[in-house]
Amino acid sequence: MAIWFRHLLTDGLARRRPELKELPFVLAAPVKNKIIITASSLAAEREGAFVGMAVADARAAVPELLVIDAIPDQAAKLLRLIGLGCIRYTPIVSLDRDGLLLDISGCAHLWGGEREYLKEIVLKLRAAGFDARAAIADTPGTAWAVARFAARHPIIASDQQVAAISNLPPVALRLEPEVLERLQKLGFRSIGPLLAIAPQSLRRRFGTHLLLRIDQALGRVEEYLEVLVPPVPYTERLPSLEPIRTVPGIEIAIEKLLEMLCLRLQGDGLGVRRAILKCHRIDGKKVQVGITTTKGSHSVSHLMRLFRLQIDKIEPALGIELFVLEAPRTEEMEVVQEQLWAESKGLGDTSLAELLDRIAGKVGANAIQRFLPSENHWPERSVKLAGSLTEQPETAWPELPRPIRLLNEPESIEVMALVPDHPPKVFVHKGKRHTVTKADGPERIGREWWQDHGQHRDYYVVEDSEGCRYWVFRSGHYDGGDARWYLHGYFA
């Protein structure tokens, strides 16, 4: 079975905004240097505004035309939602351009036959506001062609594909624009004459795709559908051996369900945005409570705290025999590093110390170091090794930007720069030439006169043409004759 939506996007928009139903409106998007109509309503088509027309020309023909900006991928999302709704009629639904293809084998008798089945689906879609046409045939190709181009008889009897498509135009075969243009130039106005030509001749002039489409439409070659897969339902069930009536028993049931649900969600990289707990009582009645989160979460403790606020609303009566936890709404979550401690114990947590001991036993004690800020001007002297996990810093870390990797000793570089205080335009480090595209600075850092004597440093943050960022500095004044440039660190 094939379903075609003649005005998918505009019907969907009018469904959400009823005031647009009787107005001529179109959806448009920029294409090269023009604004082109990508979808038009039935009222707009009656006035002369069609898909592919420039908006300026359409407004000249229809002064009262309403133009709405098209949203990318909106048609695919809307078609997917409709396809998911059609799974109630058949488990095999496939998206196809501006329509759907359904494998209805063994389903039509549930609605009283193919005619009643087709009528049920089409009327449901039209009641929802969509201008839909449908056809039933033994092959997807024939059903697709009849739904779009046949005026009557939407149900094609078995083995009647040739008669059904012979009078239809070649575009009904789902061919490329180049092939359709060639067929039009040669005078082919229907599919029938093509069926009378030897396959070798068609292949020589039009390629193999035309023959494939003909064979698919006539059932000589099987056409496989890409099945629309519905969202995975995140549901967990917990039956009770004995009816549960107490609050502690309900809490234990909820916690077990959350553990099972969150384990699945964590494996799929998802978090709960809405969860519903359904409690089936032994008297046949059902009570339910729900929670919502502002951000996706698969934390059992957090979700459990939210459900505890709802437990008072659960009336167990004679007892609950089945708990069902559903997560109808989820969202993707970024992978974050798990906490080493549940509460803010910080570096004083013994579990952290034990973890570091285990790591040190494998990689060596000297491979793990902790640094603290030190009150020194020179960047390479502004940090010091901490003696223990509990040692506290004597001063705060600098608020100015510092590279994530600081070299132990600055490395000399060759620089081309304007004078006197301009950042480098080009610098060469270890034989590689870097062209600077962005720069920030200078930040002047004076030498610690009480420790040694020498020149000050003017630091710059520079970014080269490859997007890499460096921390470079000039030692001394440029016009002093002894100024030199160095690379001191790398930013992330």
Element (H, E) at 126: helix 114-127
Tell me how far the alpha carbon of residue 1 is from its chain's centroid: 30
Residue 345 binned pLDDT confidence (cut-offs 50, 70, 90): low
pLDDT digit string, tens, across residues 173-207? 999 999 999 999 999 999 999 999 999 999 998 98
| Model confidence band, residue 441 (pLDDT cutoffs 50, 70, 90) | confident
Residue for token pair 């969150």: 262
Report the C-alpha gap between 218 and 282 in whole angstroms: 57
Q: Are 21 and 10 in contact (CB under 8 A)?
A: no
Host H or E run for residue 371: strand 371-373
Task: Find the DSSP H helices in 134-288.
Answer: 140-149, 161-165, 177-185, 192-195, 199-206, 208-218, 247-267
Coil, strand or helix at 140: helix
- Which DSSP category does 122 fall into? H
Sheet containing 34-40, strands listed edge to edge, beginning at the edge strand earlier in sequence: 34-40, 25-31, 66-69
Does the pLDDT of residue 17 top 50, yes or no? Answer: yes
User: Residue 449: pLDDT above 80?
Assistant: no
What's the rounded Cα separation, in Å, for the pair 338 and 280? 36
Q: Which two tokens stand for residue 405?
A: 């990797």
Please state, in angstroms and rounded to a whole number, the distance separating the CA atoms of residues 49 and 177.
Answer: 22
Position 212 pLDDT exceeds 90? yes
Top CATH class, 141-218: mainly alpha
pLDDT of residue 446: 82
Cα separation, 369 vs 87, whole angstroms: 59
Residues in the chain: 492
The number of CA neighbours under 13 Å toward the Cβ of 371 is 11
Q: Residue 54 carries which DSSP code?
A: B
Q: Mean of the pLDDT values across residues 39-62?
A: 91
Count of other CB atoms within 10 angstroms of residue 9: 22
Span 218-264, pLDDT tens digits: 999 999 888 998 776 789 999 998 999 999 999 999 999 999 999 99
Place of tokens 């549901």: 235
Domain ranges across the chain:
2-133, 141-218, 235-332, 369-492
417 against 326, higher pLDDT: 326
Residue 161, pLDDT > 80, answer yes
Separation of alpha carbons 490 and 147, rounded Å: 63
Q: What percent of the chain has pLDDT over 70?
A: 93
Per-residue pLDDT tens for 388-414?
Answer: 777 788 888 777 778 888 888 899 999
Other CB atoms within a 10 A radius of the CB of residue 106 amount to: 8
Separation CA 270–CA 262 (nearest Å):
9
Does 323 score more than 90 pLDDT?
Answer: yes
Burial 169-191 (b: 16+ CB within 10 A, else e): bbbbbbbeeebbebbeeeebeeb
CATH of domain 2-133: 3.40.1170.60
Q: What is the pTM of this model?
A: 0.53
39-55 average pLDDT score: 91
> Which residue in this structure is represented by tokens 């075969």?
173
How far apart, in whole angstroms, are the C-alpha atoms of residue 332 and residue 445?
Answer: 46
Phi, psi dihedrals of residue 249, rounded to the nearest 5°:
-65, -40
Q: Is pLDDT at 333 greater than 60 in this prediction?
A: yes
**273-308 confidence digits (pLDDT tens):** 899 999 999 998 999 999 988 888 888 999 999 999
User: What does the alpha-carbon distance between residue 397 and residue 382 come to, in Å, rounded to a whole number?
Assistant: 9
SS (H, E, C) 463-490: EECCCCEEEEEEECCHHHCCCEEEEEEE
Residue 126 banded pLDDT, cuts 50, 70, 90: very high
Structure confidence at residue 135 as a pLDDT band (50, 70, 90): very high
Question: Per-residue pLDDT tens for 57-96?
Answer: 999 989 999 999 998 889 999 999 999 999 989 999 999 8
Identify which has the larger pLDDT, 133 or 344. Answer: 133
Q: What is the pLDDT of residue 451?
A: 67
| CA gap 320, 278 in Å, rounded | 10
CB atoms within 10 A of CB 202: 16
Per-residue pLDDT, 378 = 78
Q: Angle of helix 8-16 relative to helix 74-85, nearest 10 degrees?
A: 80
* Amino acid present at 56: A
The residue assigned the tokens 């009823």 is: 18
* Greater model confidence, 152 or 166: 166
Instruction: Compute the average pLDDT of residues 429-447.
Output: 89
Please write the tens of the pLDDT for every residue from 407-426. Answer: 888 999 998 877 667 888 99
Q: Which pLDDT does position 341 carry in this prediction? A: 47
Angle at which helices 140-149 and 208-218 cross, to 10°: 90
**pLDDT number for residue 383:** 81
Work out the average pLDDT over 440-455: 78
Architecture of domain 235-332: 2-Layer Sandwich (3.30)
Give the pLDDT confidence score for residue 343 in this predicted structure: 53
